[in-house]
Amino acid sequence: MGNDSSKEVEDSTNSEEVAEFLDENPRFLAEYIERNPHLLDNYVFANVDEATVKGWLDKVKAPSPAAILQPLKIDYQKPKNTAAHRTDKYIHNSLVVRRAERFSIDIYFKNRAYLPAKDTVALEFSIGTSPKYANGTKIRCPVKETLQGSKWGCMLAGQDDATQKISVDVNIPADAIIGRYKLTVEVTSELETGMKTERTTKPDIIVIFNPFSPTDNCYMENSADRDEYVLNDTGKIYFGQWYRIGGKDWLFGQFEEGILDIALKLLRKDSRAIKNPEKSLKKRASPAYCSRVLSAMVNCNDDDGIIWGNWSGDYADGKSPTSWSGSVQIMKQWNETNEAVKYGQCWVFSGVLTTALRALGIPARSITNYRSAHDTEYNMTIDKFIGEDGEETNFTSDSIWNFHVWNEGWFRRPDLPKGYDGWQAVDATPQEESSGIMQCGPAPVKAVQKGEIYIGTDTNFLFGEVNADVVWWSVDAGGEVTGMLKRDKRDVGKRISTKAVGSDEREDVTKYYKFEEDTPEERTAFERAYAHGRKADYHDKFVIKEEGAMQIDITTGGDTMNGKPISVKIVVNNTTKENRDVIVTTVMHTLLNNENRCAFIKRDKREVAIAAGQANEQDIVLAFGEYGHRLVDENVIRVTTTARVKQTNNLYVDTFDLQVDSPPGVLTIECADTFLRREYSEISFTITNPLPITLTDGVFTIVGSGVTNGKTVKANGPIGPGETFKSQPVEVYPYRSGRTYLYADFDATEFKNVKAAKAIRVE
């Protein structure tokens, strides 16, 4: 019995191998029968009836045509195919289809009907500048009776002699290279004078990834997730402070005219594609490869990429990063000028990368990490240094960004061990080089959580961003490290955020990047990553001095609204059993998002006596005149307080990033709630100056999906304190029906990053 079962399995396996061989070698059977004609005779005698034979004879007797079959046109059935492939939102002249799926076309002939016995039709798809059959960049598909789902193929789906057309179904395999394919129709006819072949080039088709098909590596099972991460062209990018989170409305616009072509252009202009076009082209079947290339090309540091990063606070020769509200205008400007767009910071890089990934069919989202570490030494710690004067010194380039925005793409990782499919972190913001290029990822989020920094690409850097320890050191006048002041295991990686599926609410995804703080799982992950890091020698040389411990707490004393006085409360608590004389120094600077200090605002230094077990409280008030004209970008003020105990000379430090808020509701969008498609409409803006100073050089900007990629209008004159100003109308031309959003921005010399949004309907 066992031997019979084994034989059945063996026979089944052999049958499958034979079937696969015949599929891969369609001419083999014909050649074999030509050598052994008796086999065909035997088959016909045993299996074919008289009616079938008569049909064969009728076809053979039909006279050969006088002229070769000539294609007239191809109907790409765009509405039908794009609806089936969920690509109907793309504004594009070419047919956009997804791999791992079939599409249908009709081929019309101009001189006669298609004769199956005399005519052979084949479709040839080629991609790249030098396509070859050998490497899969050129594919020839004869029109057959059947299709094989795992391969390129064409099947005759119907014939209408009255209109001289044939209907053909085309199958695109799940591992197809994504990009623009040239389509050539090849016709061979058996004529009275012999065989003749002609080839005709037809309009291109564009193939993208398919998150709707289980066989594609980008497959996303949940339909609501696909609606959000593939089909939604608007969203939110989070910013601000971990204790006061804000959301920027962002127009991704992946379906807008030209955006898909720009995303494909980025893949072609990457340095790897220029150096080795054939190798790079073949790798474009992989979403992991495409996401890494796009992370490099969205910034311009090593190539002709899209965005010029600037964290200086000076944007006079470009646009402030805070003024952007969407990706489309940025990408189109780059495409038209062939120059990097000035300027962007992390949320701009992330917004554009989300657009490019979604345009290619890769599910993607923007991720905001609060208290995001930038570990330049890859030692899993952020080392901060305090000098003898209580000022922070730039002893290393380590920093902690108030927030940092990167991306996640959703795809399988057949290149990695099992268990790392799903969300993959990629980052286009230029921070540290990876393989000699400013690029980052893809790093499996699951590997980041576990501290497995050797899995994926740049996982070590991502782990440091969300779970590094912050270590404060004291340095003497000569720059020598003299001791460890503080080690904070909970400061980095807070409230990691993204837009929730199907709503404008925030989803907290911290638990996917790190285990809960101070749990055994979290410390195990840290130790695993730390063991693979590069430690400086002083890491093992010093321990924290516990003697004379002082606890510092910095909070705001109330309202932090721009234009008003701001109060900062400093509390120094003496936790020892001894009275202490303490020198408390508080220094305030305006701060850029990447922790670069810009303008000095204020220093407060005082010596206080703090009894055992007691605390000293100080209120430091900042007048608008002290901070208003020094604010940059995200309106952040860094407060650093040190406490030096005179009896022990021990130094203690803490920092607090104060967010200065813009008054709500000062900017409004004025327009009708409903626009008519392909008819001009007007939009105007109203702003009320909330500051005690005059606003000058004001500029309003508006973007809206399916409405406009970007329009600006200047304020015609200064806007005094408390004054309300209404702009001249901006004319727009809506070109896509449905519900959408308008996003407005206002920037003046004295008051920037003012946003407003309005929902409208286009009918």
* Distance in angstroms (rounded) separating the CA atoms of residues 636 and 329: 27
Query: CB neighbours of 273 closer than 8 A, spacing ≥ 6?
Result: 267, 280, 281, 293
Residue linked to tokens 């031309």: 733
Active site (annotated) includes residue 697: no
Active site (annotated) includes residue 427: yes
* Distance in angstroms (rounded) separating the CA atoms of residues 159 and 106: 9
DSSP string, 507-564: EE-HHHHSPPTTSHHHHHHHHHHHHTS---GGGGT--B--TT-EEEEEEE-S--BTTS
Instruction: Report which of 501, 513, 648, 505 is spatially closest to residue 583, judged by C-alpha positions.
Output: 648
* Distance in angstroms (rounded) separating the CA atoms of residues 477 and 387: 7
| 240, β-bridge pairs | 245
Q: 228: helix, coil or strand?
A: helix
Q: 446: helix, coil or strand?
A: helix
Active site (annotated) includes residue 589: no
* Distance in angstroms (rounded) separating the CA atoms of residues 127 and 296: 23
Which H, E and C letters describe 232-297, residue by residue?
CCEEEEEEEECCEEEEEEEECCCCCCCHHHHHHHHHHHCHHHHHCHHHHHHHCCCHHHHHHHHHHH
Question: Using N-to-C axis directions, what is the helix angle for 520-531 and 459-467, rounded to 10°?
Answer: 140
Beta strand 138-144 pairing with 119-126: antiparallel
CB distance 580 to 647 below 8 Å? yes
Instruction: Report which of 129, 126, 125 is spatially closest to residue 105, judged by C-alpha positions.
Output: 125
* Distance in angstroms (rounded) separating the CA atoms of residues 562 and 627: 9
Which H, E and C letters describe 148-217, residue by residue?
CCCCCEEEEEEEECCCCEEEEEEEECCCCCCEEEEEEEEEEEEECCEEEEEEEEEEEEEEECCCCCCCCC
* Distance in angstroms (rounded) separating the CA atoms of residues 204 and 460: 42
* Distance in angstroms (rounded) separating the CA atoms of residues 175 and 225: 23
Distance between first and last Cα of the chain: 72
Instruction: Report which of 515, 503, 511, 247 is spatially closest to residue 366, judged by C-alpha positions.
Output: 247
The one catalytic residue among 92, 374, 404, 589: 404
Query: CB neighbours of 695 closer than 8 A, spacing ≥ 6?
Result: 689, 715, 718, 719, 748, 749, 750, 751
CB distance 577 to 588 below 8 Å? no
The one catalytic residue among 398, 427, 469, 657: 427
The one catalytic residue among 154, 346, 440, 598: 346
> How many CB atoms sit inside 10 A of residue 373's CB?
27
Beta-strand runs (E) in 316-445: 341-344, 364-374, 381-386, 392-393, 399-411, 422-426, 443-444
Tokens of 457: 């690409």
Residues annotated as catalytic are 346, 404, 427
